Structures are given as C-alpha cells and as structure tokens.
Structure 1
C-alpha cells in the first residue's frame, strides 16, 4: 500500500513534478469546445483531450486516452465536474482511481483541487454523501419490497397476458380458421407468448383440441359397489 492510500488527506501527488493534462467534453457535435479549451489552456494544461459525446455514453474514448496518458505526479484538469463524470459515483470512482496512481485532480469551475488539503476534504465529503445516499436508496427499496410482500402484492414484471386474454386466446384457438399468428397479432403479443400461456399448443392444434374437449367432459361417474 502506498503512503497516500492509507491517509485520505495525504497530498496527492506528494510532489507535483508532472504536467497538467486537460479534458473537455460537449454533449453534441453542435456544441463548441472553444470556451472549455480556452479555460484549460489558461490553467496551464500542456495537453488537452476532448470528447463530443453525452456524459451517459460509456464510450468516451478521449477520456480513457487521457487517463492512460497521465503519469504519477501529473494532474488532470477539467472545466467543471459535470464534464468528467456521468454521475457522482462515476466521478468519485475516476478520481479515486487517479489518487491510487498518485495523480491529482482539479475542477476549475468548482475551484476543487485534490492536491490541496481543502480540496481533498471536500471531495471525501462528496464520496461519503454519495455512499450515504446509496445506502438510503437500498434501504428504502428493501423496505418498500417488504411492505408490498406483506400486502400480498405481486412483485416483478407484470404478466404478458391477463387471465381474460388467455381465455380469449383459448376461445379463438378452437376455431380452425384462426392461426396462432393472427391470434397473437389481435391480442398484441408474440407467437411465443401464446405458446407460453397456452402450453397445450406445443403439441399442435390437434393436441390442443383434445385437451380442450377433455377439460369440458364431465368427470366419470363412480359405479355403485
């Protein structure tokens, strides 16, 4: 374990001998990078990587190139926090990864600099809040599921066909002129769904007809002893 991994507030990088590397991003091709590029250049960045993709897009090629380019002692600089992470969890994961490699992080708009004690403290507060919120969401979800089960609520995805639709499908299947495809289309489901909810069909229409007739016959009378 390196010294800066067991001390959350230890300076990272311990000695800033590396370069300032910038990363900028816009969400669409219609947006311009000029303002972000100028801010990063004014901040002293010697190399700038840029993406023109939504933050929700995991394939941010230039960001991964920037992270690969950085070396211990360097500092990653972004115009603002929302240019780097898709979410607070994503942002924290990226900065934590940089810290483990001995790389600093600076966000110009928020004046957040993890190479300073104050910046490191603020970022660890962010991380603690994100973890706290995640635990609250998990706890609330579990409590909601438990309450739903106690009420007898059905959990999970709703069935593809209602009982009424299944009865209607069975009725239509008794008429030879109706195909499985036409029945599925009229009910707004797939052929596979019809086969799933009417399992007798797997043996063919004849097997379905025999099963239907058998179900409608009265039970045999018991002979008197």
Structure 2
C-alpha cells in the first residue's frame, strides 16, 4: 500500500479494515507509519478505527506498539513527520517541473505523429471496422481511438 494515496483509492486498506471488523486477526503489523498514510488526520482516524475494533497496531521500523499511551503519542508524531516528508517531496517535484518548463522542455507524453492521426481518422470515417480493430491496426489504445471518434464532427 502506498501512503501517498488518499483513503478513497486504497482498496487494500479497506479490505484490511473489513477483515479487522470481522475479527480475522487481533494485530496489524505494518512496516512503517508512512505505509499507512502521510496525512496526520488519516493516520489518527485509522488508529481510532483500529482501536475501536480492539485491534492492535505494531510498526516494525519504529518498534512502536499503539496499544500504549506512549506508543499512541509516538504514532501521532511520526504521522506529523510523514506528512511533512510528503509535502517536501511534492515541493521538490513541482520545483523540478517548473525548472524544466523554464528551460523550454516540453513535458508530458509526445504527441502522436500527424500521419498516424490522419490514418486513424480516415479509418473512422470509412467505417466498416470496429474501434478495437482500428486501435490494433494502428498500434494505439482503444481509448485513443474513442477520443478521436468523439472529437470528430457528426
């Protein structure tokens, strides 16, 4: 599980909590606090949810047991530092992107060659082939062909 993702996009974490609610285990062992999340609010919510279920939490790298008051305090402090680290990473990435832009570098995926774009448009206009066939023939994704078709008039 990545700690950078929001709780909404973490199905493995949801499954873990469902299994915890079903009492399939009594302790969650995690490698590090940053594997759980980098938002203090999410970490505290997670810890409260786990505690309400009567499940313990052990963080291996920190040697931290959340069932003690000292462990809970340390868990929350580690969450603050994980959130800080996440902010620093984002800041460095944004600075790198801005530096690249200022140097005139074109960011993102290269555009499809005009010849290929025209060939796909011609195939779409001619009809008689499925979108999947056109995508396979031109070695592009189905989504690319679908977007091109949607952008065509008529």
TM-score (norm 2): 0.53
What's 2:37 paired with?
A: 89
* 1:1-225 alignment runs, 5 A limit: 56=12, 58-60=14-16, 61-65=18-22, 78=27, 80-82=29-31, 87-89=35-37, 92-93=43-44, 94-97=46-49, 105=56, 107=58, 110=63, 112-117=65-70, 119-156=71-108, 158-159=110-111, 161-169=112-120, 173=122, 179=127, 181=129, 184-189=135-140, 190=142, 191-195=145-149, 199=152, 202-203=153-154
- How far residue 155 of structure 1 moved from its aligned partner, in angstroms, is 4.1
Residues 145-166 of structure 1: CA deviation (Å, up to 9, x unaligned): 212322334445554x322312
How many residues are paired up? 127
- How far residue 130 of structure 1 moved from its aligned partner, in angstroms, is 0.7
Normalized per residue, the structure richer in helix is 2
**CA 1:63 to 1:153, structure 2 compared with 1: closer, same or farther past 3 Å?**
farther
**CA 1:62 to 1:106, structure 2 compared with 1: closer, same or farther past 3 Å?**
closer
TM-score (norm 1): 0.40
Unaligned runs of 5+ in 2: 1-10
- How far residue 125 of structure 1 moved from its aligned partner, in angstroms, is 3.1
**CA 1:193 to 1:92, structure 2 compared with 1: closer, same or farther past 3 Å?**
closer
Contact 1:78/1:107 (CA < 8 Å) preserved in 2?
yes
- How far residue 126 of structure 1 moved from its aligned partner, in angstroms, is 1.5
CA distance in 2: counterparts of 1:113 and 1:184, whole angstroms: 52
Q: Report the aligned-residue RMSD.
A: 4.3
What's 1:217 paired with?
A: none
- How far residue 120 of structure 1 moved from its aligned partner, in angstroms, is 3.4
Unaligned runs of 5+ in 1: 1-54, 67-75, 204-225
- How far residue 139 of structure 1 moved from its aligned partner, in angstroms, is 0.7
Contact 1:77/1:107 (CA < 8 Å) preserved in 2?
no
